Amino acid sequence: MQYAKLSRIVTLVTVLVLAVPAAAQFGPLDQPGGPPEAAVATYQDASGALPGGQARLAVVIEIPEGWHINAHEPLDEYLIPTRVTLEPPDGFAVVGLVYPEPILASFSFSQDQMAVYEHSAAIGLVVNVAENVAPGEYALPGTLQYQACNDTVCAPPKTVSFTAKLAVAAAGTAVTSQHAEIFERIDFGKAAAPAAAAGEAPPEPVETVSEDWQALAGAFTVTGRNSGYLGSDAFIEWVEDVESGAVDSSLNAFAGKSALAIVVLTLLGGLALNLTPCVLPLIPINLAIIGAGARAGSRRRGFALGGVYGLAIALVYGILGVIAVLTGSSFGSINTSPWFNLAIAVVFVVLALAMFDLIQIDFTRFQNKVAIDKSRKGTFYLAFGMGAVSALLAGACVAPVVIFVILLARDLYQANPIALALPFLLGVGMALPWPFLGAGLSFLPKPGGWMVKVKYAFGVFILAFAAYYGYLSYELLSDRYGVDEAEVASSVEGLDADGWTASLAEGLARAQAENKPVLVDFWATWCKNCLTMNQTTFKEPRVRESLADYVKVKYQAQQPDASPARDVMEQFGVGGLGLPVYVILEPHTGG
């Protein structure tokens, strides 16, 4: 403990000592001969913020090559942190601040690693805009505190001033996103309220936009959800079905299907994987390795060894599924990425080619080289380890099916949490024969030429899904990059006369007061199908008539994977769905 404290003091003294000659030799940092001053630039993520809404700003620090600045939270309490403060005028309030993740680096003047920023650092700010703020451009003064060092010299701490420009648009105006390459570097989901400076009272809590709509949303029930382009007839039919209660509002992909049937089909799929040429011929070898079958000594012990082997298979697939499904919002946004779906299509094509023996992908040759110790044959630890290895190295015959089930579980999880168990159930199906095989009860068919036909059937199945993901990638690419953003924004403005509002809080409040249902249309300027809906379906007289008794809200979800749009979509159970997305809300009885 004393050594760690002494080390921090030595680091501090070293930094201060190095800073003195730096100041004497170089003078101000921006003078010729010395390190250049860090450049500061500010950006706004949209062409304008709406009154009563929020704006997101980025403060980008360009750090001279060969130099670094301390992170916002240095690992050593004595070091000067990088800190951004903003002093907005009346009508604006900073409610969120997020710093980038630092890198850990070692330098000659410190015995310990330091948390620093290098090259470029983007700091995000979330600013509330009051409802009474008039349209225009506003100047928000701010300061940046930092200290620059290289491997041998530290410059004195410096505070520089900057001015952030924030544009406010008129209420109801459709705004367009900008500077996506900058804002995609900032994880606004980690934004926290700005900390008070030393000696100052903590800021008064500010009511955010999300709190407004969330408080109102509790007075409504989601009765219908849908997504994608819908023609006039399809849209009217959906609305009528929601009103009559004939449609499942959960977007549950299991609706109308027996849960037992889904479980049985998944188990049978896993069982069928044992019939592939990557698995079936290796069963006697793996039984011999784990000491089961005829070598077990008794049927009971063989049954237990085979059961442990199979349990490991099921657990590996189950864990892979949980990791894939629960790795945060990333999978919701990844699912709508054209590049992700294209990559999945390419992987499936490669795996299908392996099924037809056009290319060779087989890791099972490594299986018998892992964790084999003749002295440990017949132990449950070895059986479990070999089962896990076998699940991971089952080769091209099993991988496509496992990947598909994991992707299916990811897609269906938000609709029904039971989908999280699908990869585990697939593993259970594959594991079912192993306890009996371990006990010496063989009922699987002998390897033969028929296995090639099974493999080819899997190949056709996988090619079909490769085509599906390829088409989905094409649709997403066309939808996101083949559209004029200004045209989409203009099409939204053209719907104002039909009674649409851009404020979710305003729409919910009016619907609650008038006891009316609400239709929320989630859109973005990059969404081509949103443009098509605005130009066709929503202009159809029959559609207008069907929505005459609704409060209609156009919610711009420009970045569905970031707050506040992510929070709104998750609240209504449509997080991760591609735009456009439609939600119908009914006020609670008596609300």
Please tell me the distance from the alpha carbon of residue 365 to that of residue 359, in angstroms, as a whole number.
Answer: 16
Return the amino acid letter for 367: Q
Query: Measuring CA to CA, which residue among 63, 81, 80, 64 is closest to residue 72?
Result: 81
User: Is the separation of the CB atoms in 169 and 47 below 8 Å?
Assistant: yes
| Site of tokens 């367009």 | 176
Please tell me the distance from the alpha carbon of residue 387 to that of residue 420, in angstroms, as a whole number.
Answer: 21
Query: Measuring CA to CA, which residue among 45, 44, 52 is closest to residue 504?
Result: 52
Lookup: tokens for 354: 């392996």
User: Is the separation of the CB atoms in 154 and 62 below 8 Å?
Assistant: no
Return the amino acid letter for 373: D
CA 589 → CA 219, 245, 516, 546, distances in Å? 9, 16, 11, 22
pLDDT at position 32 is 42
Residue 467 — left, alpha, or beta (φ > 0 → left; ψ -120 to 50 → alpha)?
alpha
pLDDT at position 248 is 54
Please tell me the distance from the alpha carbon of residue 360 to that of residue 288, in angstroms, as a whole number.
Answer: 26
Q: Which domains does the chain have, with CATH numbers?
A: 2-206 (2.60.40.1250), 212-249+484-587 (3.40.30), 259-474 (no CATH)
User: Is the separation of the CB atoms in 243 and 519 below 8 Å?
Assistant: no
Please tell me the distance from the alpha carbon of residue 580 to that of residue 487, in angstroms, as a whole number.
Answer: 16
Contacts of 223 (CB under 8 A, 6+ apart): 242, 245, 249, 517, 584, 585, 586
Angle of the 338-355 helix axis to the 450-481 helix axis, nearest 10: 160
User: Is the separation of the CB atoms in 74 and 115 below 8 Å?
Assistant: yes
* Cis preceding-peptide flag for 28 (omega within 30 of 0): no
Pairing, β 148-149 against β 68-70:
antiparallel
How much is the pTM?
Answer: 0.45
Query: Measuring CA to CA, which residue among 93, 94, 147, 149 is closest to residue 123?
Result: 94
Please tell me the distance from the alpha carbon of residue 550 to that of residue 552, in angstroms, as a whole number.
Answer: 6
CA 570 → CA 228, 229, 249, 318, 421, distances in Å? 17, 21, 14, 25, 22
Query: Measuring CA to CA, which residue among 534, 522, 504 is closest to residue 579?
Result: 522
Return the amino acid letter for 93: A
Contacts of 266 (CB under 8 A, 6+ apart): 405, 422, 425, 426, 429
What is the CB-side half-sphere exposure of residue 518 using CA atoms within 13 A? 33
Question: Cα–Cα–Cα angle for 358, 364, 365, nearest 5°?
Answer: 95
Tell me the mean pLDDT per 10 residues along the chain, length 591.
41 40 37 62 90 90 87 75 90 90 77 83 91 90 86 74 92 83 84 54 40 78 87 92 72 51 80 72 68 64 83 87 65 58 78 72 49 53 79 64 74 67 87 79 56 69 76 67 73 76 88 92 86 90 93 88 81 79 85 42
CB atoms within 10 A of CB 431: 26
